[in-house]
Amino acid sequence: MPVLEVRNLKKSYGPVTAVADISFSVEPGEVFTIIGPNGAGKTTTLEMIEGLVTPDGGQIEFGALNWARNSEQIKVTIGVQPQSSALFDLLTVEENLDLFATFYPKSRPTADVLDMISLTDQRNKYVKKLSGGQKQRLAIGLAMINDPELIFLDEPTTGLDPQARRNIWDIILKLKALGKTTILTTHYMEEAEKLSDRVCIVDQGKIVTLDTPAALIDRLTKEREVRLTLMDGESAAIETEKTALLQTAVVRTAREGDSLRLWTTQPEETLYELFGFTKDRGFRVEQISIREMSLEDVFIAFTGKEWRD
């Protein structure tokens, strides 16, 4: 049984449709990631699920529980990462955790949480003295203080340096090892690819696609990007591009000066034919590369938008 199921969620703010129609379900123990461009509706979706924003329509079910009938039970089974600005600056790390623990009937021992978020050595530090990464780790610690089964992390790594981001990934992996379920939003493709069991790409308040990172990439891996640069100038590249477009395996091309990019479903055959053509014409090829598709390519293919980091 899914730990969370949302169906046909909708939310508008005046004339702005933040969430047009979103449905998905999350299985126990999964890291489920929502990615999408700015203003796609990710935060609004999470806020509705977390009970912070009332949907205009749709259903949200946590197993057999829903907000209308079981709000107290839901609050103890979910953990929400507060904005780092909501931390108490004049309390220490440990005091923040102890304070949040008092909000719940049951909590995880503070020492345990400090260990999970690798802040044991900093437990007596005031929040205002922490680095950005440490504050984010504390915010995640607060989300797990009630030992929830389902944890919501809204862009936990935005603005952090690569090492600080990796420290957060470690926490997410530790939660997964404990069998917890995490719902994550992120701006970082690499993160979605590394951590997620399933990724849902949202654009303009709707799900564009939802699958495992491997399956999403797989859908496009039939297509490879071949790049080649010709030593005989732009006209050679134009002629080569025209010939490439005659091949059925070549899906599309792009050219800039003497550099040519083409996307093909059969890279070997395409290269074989192209080399035949360039040899016949006496064109010399300076550089050639074949690129694997990444989750970022999937995102661009599905949303038509460049990824923002």
Ligand X SMILES: Nc1ncnc2c1ncn2[C@@H]1O[C@H](COP(=O)(O)OP(=O)(O)OP(=O)(O)O)[C@@H](O)[C@H]1O
Binding residues for ligand X, rule: CB under 6 A, are 13, 16, 18, 36, 38-44
Q: How far is the CB of 213 from ligand X (least distance, A)?
A: 19
Q: How far is the CB of 165 from ligand X (least distance, A)?
A: 16
Based on DSSP, count helices (H) and strands (E) in the chain, helices before strands. 11, 13
Q: C-alpha distances in angstroms, 261 versus 91, 134, 242? A: 56, 43, 12
Q: CA 21 to CA 10: how far, in whole Å? A: 5
Q: How far is the CB of 9 from ligand X (least distance, A)?
A: 11
Tokens of 77: 């089974």
Total length of the chain: 309
Shorter beta-carbon distance to ligand X: residue 54 or 102: 54
Q: What are the DSSP E strand ranges found in the chain?
A: 4-13, 16-26, 31-35, 57-61, 78-80, 150-154, 181-186, 198-203, 206-211, 224-230, 250-256, 259-264, 285-291
Shorter beta-carbon distance to ligand X: residue 53 or 91: 53
Shorter beta-carbon distance to ligand X: residue 43 or 59: 43
Shorter beta-carbon distance to ligand X: residue 41 or 133: 41
Q: Is 117 exposed, middle or buried (0-12, 13-18, 19+ CB in 10 A)?
A: buried
Q: C-alpha distances in angstroms, 115 versus 20, 138, 255, 295? A: 41, 11, 53, 32
Q: How far is the CB of 209 from ligand X (least distance, A)?
A: 16
Q: How far is the CB of 18 from ligand X (least distance, A)?
A: 3
Tokens of 243: 């010939």
HSE-CB for 25 with a 13 A CA cutoff: 11
Q: How far is the CB of 82 from ligand X (least distance, A)?
A: 16
Shorter beta-carbon distance to ligand X: residue 206 or 227: 206
Shorter beta-carbon distance to ligand X: residue 107 or 136: 136
